[in-house]
Chain A
């Protein structure tokens, strides 16, 4: 059965490996180009010490390096979904398409062993390759730090908490890949056609990532507060994923004002006992000469809530655990469907 699973899916596995090798080569080339660019100045980034900032805002060759970094980042973002669904979709649905499930399920191995062997033989190398890519990405990110001093700020690649950076760093890409693989397999069992399995898996994957980013990840670890507006230095630190900026605050429900660039929120905190500051704030905005004084007089304060950089690994592990649990559920569902339903 191991022989069959490998023989059947070896092409797709090799394709995935090839894509990863190509991407890895591109990343290596980008790093090499950065390393050979002239160093312009040295900056201190909290938590990372002294980092060389290469001059990238003149010279077309170097300038387009930042575009390459952005493209690679985008590719890394869709990679887990791409490879997971590429391998998971045809795993079972491909057999239904060809009718070969009827061939395989009337030989000597039962359907359970058939599917579990496939999952392990295909899934394990997939995760190993993606883990390798995750390590490579981690190393890569150090070398391209400080490269982009343009619109996104010199710190955009330092702040691993950003919604565009968090999913491509650390260990979550491996968990995402497992999830996409499980989705492809489960949808394949459910819908019996590879094309529909792929579509269904991609849609649910995107939905899950959206929900995770906007709703779940911000609350996976305790958030910290700053009351009042952050100072400029604090602001910079916030974008750099700064730690320990909290000025004592008591938790109270408040509206999510500006999700912004990091996992943080900013808005008005009502006086204790008041459910929402909306009415007060609107009143002040429309009727008072000095909005801030009015707001302060009504005991409504302005503050910022954020996820500190120190929570990075906590968030990574917890998010990976959620995806891993969901994947196991999907595998169980696929197994049940294969055993129960007609060929």
Chain B
């Protein structure tokens, strides 16, 4: 099954460090997939590789089944990319950024882009450099939207916005893409705001994918076990992470929780707890069951 984005063993090395390593995942077409991880985890690297701004060192990356060609017109027409640094031509007026979008793209939906700007009350005649950072992010997104892409690659799209604006933007994004079935792949390091918006989640840490899958499956498949302090992980349990105080141990396990007897409480964790547990233990990780899983042993 081809996803909107599919990577097999994808890796990117910069001189001596790997920005991304052994990344095999699939982003399901039509889904809204979140990408979480700490700074330096490789989220931006992954998004840039998908956009064709970087070439893979190892492995492959495909968008809608086609190998990514950085100069390919077909590829460029299907993606919309929002960079973390929100680059814009600071001397241009907002109106001119729309002209930019129109002139450089084959298909351009001017009313959609203008509607996006109007929704967030961005003045068209103001110079981009004079806008607030949040407004600049909106302009960059408007350019992405006007392109009518099939796959949106957004690197920390809400980072510059205040909490209310963040929620508003994500809701509007949700509404806009629902009608066209656009696939959205966005990164953030705030899990709580991704949860209401995303169907699926990919956790990236230390240049590797720790886990990926639908949020429902993630929540259903993990349990918190809280009980008296033990010094070793119980055998037969897939422990993602454990933390202990002097008298108590908390385990996050994946799969069916083992029966450790009385004194142990089984709790359903929130998404944020799951993500934090994975990030705290970079060696833990496995692909989740579900339609979005890519085979672990992909082509080399």
In contact, A108 and B73 (Cβ under 8 angstroms): yes
Q: In the assembled complex, which residues on chain B have CB atoms less than 8 Å from the CB atom of A342?
A: 48, 53-55
A8: interface (CB < 8 Å): yes
In contact, A112 and B54 (Cβ under 8 angstroms): no
A106: interface (CB < 8 Å): yes
Report how far A3 CA is from B106 CA in the complex, Å: 15
Report how far A99 CA is from B88 CA in the complex, Å: 8
B185: interface (CB < 8 Å): no
In contact, B72 and A102 (Cβ under 8 angstroms): no
Interface string of A1-22 (1 = CB under 8 A from B): 1011001100000000000000
Q: In the assembled complex, which residues on chain B have CB atoms less than 8 Å from the CB atom of A99?
A: 83, 85, 87
Q: In the assembled complex, which residues on chain A have CB atoms less than 8 Å from the CB atom of B83?
A: 99, 102-103
Q: Which interface residue of B76, B77, B92, B106 has the most chain A CB atoms within 10 A? A: B76
Report how far A272 CA is from B102 CA in the complex, Å: 75
In contact, A98 and B105 (Cβ under 8 angstroms): no
Residue on B with the closest CB to A99? B87
In contact, B77 and A108 (Cβ under 8 angstroms): yes
B264: interface (CB < 8 Å): no
In contact, B53 and A8 (Cβ under 8 angstroms): no
Distance from A44 Cβ to chain B, minimum over Cβ atoms (Å): 58
Interface string of B52-91 (1 = CB under 8 A from A): 1111000000000000001111001101110101011110
B222: interface (CB < 8 Å): no
Report how far A343 CA is from B92 CA in the complex, Å: 22
B37: interface (CB < 8 Å): no
Interface string of A25-37 (1 = CB under 8 A from B): 0000000000000
Report how far A342 CA is from B14 CA in the complex, Å: 11
Interface string of A93-108 (1 = CB under 8 A from B): 0000011101111111
Interface string of B89-111 (1 = CB under 8 A from A): 11010001001110111100000
Interface residues of A in 101-148 (CB under 8 A from B): 102-112
Report how far A7 CA is from B128 CA in the complex, Å: 14
B147: interface (CB < 8 Å): yes
Q: In the assembled complex, which residues on chain A have CB atoms less than 8 Å from the CB atom of B87?
A: 98-100, 102-103
Report how far A109 CA is from B106 CA in the complex, Å: 9
B51: interface (CB < 8 Å): yes
Report how far A1 CA is from B85 CA in the complex, Å: 23
Main secondary structure, interface of A, reads helix
Q: Which of A1, A108, A339, A343 contacts B106 (CB 8 A)?
A: A108
Distance from B129 Cβ to chain A, minimum over Cβ atoms (Å): 11
Residues of B within 8 A of A (CB-CB), count: 33
In contact, B100 and A110 (Cβ under 8 angstroms): no
Report how far A3 CA is from B140 CA in the complex, Å: 19
Report how far A102 CA is from B48 CA in the complex, Å: 9
Distance from A143 Cβ to chain B, minimum over Cβ atoms (Å): 42
State whether A110 and B101 are in contact (beta carbons under 8 Å apart), knowing that A98-B90, A102-B81, A103-B88 are contacts in the complex: no
In contact, A106 and B79 (Cβ under 8 angstroms): yes
Distance from A1 Cβ to chain B, minimum over Cβ atoms (Å): 6
Interface string of B109-123 (1 = CB under 8 A from A): 000000000000000
Report how far A88 CA is from B273 CA in the complex, Å: 53
State whether A339 and B81 are in contact (beta carbons under 8 Å apart), knowing that A98-B90, A99-B87, A108-B76 are contacts in the complex: no
Distance from A265 Cβ to chain B, minimum over Cβ atoms (Å): 50
Report how far A304 CA is from B71 CA in the complex, Å: 59
Q: Which of B51, B79, B81, B88 contacts A100 (CB 8 A)?
A: B88
Distance from A276 Cβ to chain B, minimum over Cβ atoms (Å): 51
Q: In the assembled complex, which residues on chain B have CB atoms less than 8 Å from the CB atom of A104?
A: 104
Residue on A with the closest CB to B49? A342
Interface string of A316-343 (1 = CB under 8 A from B): 0000000000000000000000010011
Q: In the assembled complex, which residues on chain B have CB atoms less than 8 Å from the CB atom of A4?
A: 100, 103-104
Interface residues of A in 66-87 (CB under 8 A from B): none
Residue on A with the closest CB to B83? A102
Distance from A39 Cβ to chain B, minimum over Cβ atoms (Å): 53
Distance from B149 Cβ to chain A, minimum over Cβ atoms (Å): 9
Q: In the assembled complex, which residues on chain A have CB atoms less than 8 Å from the CB atom of B51?
A: 106
In contact, A109 and B88 (Cβ under 8 angstroms): no
In contact, B71 and A111 (Cβ under 8 angstroms): yes
In contact, A3 and B76 (Cβ under 8 angstroms): no
Report how far A105 CA is from B55 CA in the complex, Å: 14
In contact, B52 and A100 (Cβ under 8 angstroms): no
In contact, B54 and A3 (Cβ under 8 angstroms): no
Report how far A98 CA is from B136 CA in the complex, Å: 14
In contact, B53 and A106 (Cβ under 8 angstroms): yes
Residues of B within 8 A of A (CB): 48, 51-55, 70-73, 76-77, 79-81, 83, 85, 87-90, 92, 96, 99-101, 103-106, 140, 143, 147
Sorted nearest first, the 6 A-B pairs with minimum C-beta distance are A99-B87, A343-B53, A110-B71, A107-B104, A108-B105, A106-B81
Known: A100-B89, A108-B106, A108-B147. 14 other contacts (CB 8 A): A1-B104, A4-B100, A98-B87, A98-B89, A99-B83, A100-B87, A105-B70, A106-B80, A107-B100, A109-B104, A110-B71, A111-B71, A342-B53, A343-B48
Q: Enumerate 24 A-B pairs (CB-CB under 8 Å) in ascending A order.
A: A4-B103, A7-B96, A8-B89, A99-B85, A99-B87, A100-B89, A102-B48, A102-B81, A102-B85, A103-B89, A103-B140, A107-B100, A107-B101, A107-B104, A108-B73, A108-B76, A108-B106, A109-B104, A110-B70, A110-B76, A339-B70, A342-B53, A342-B55, A343-B48
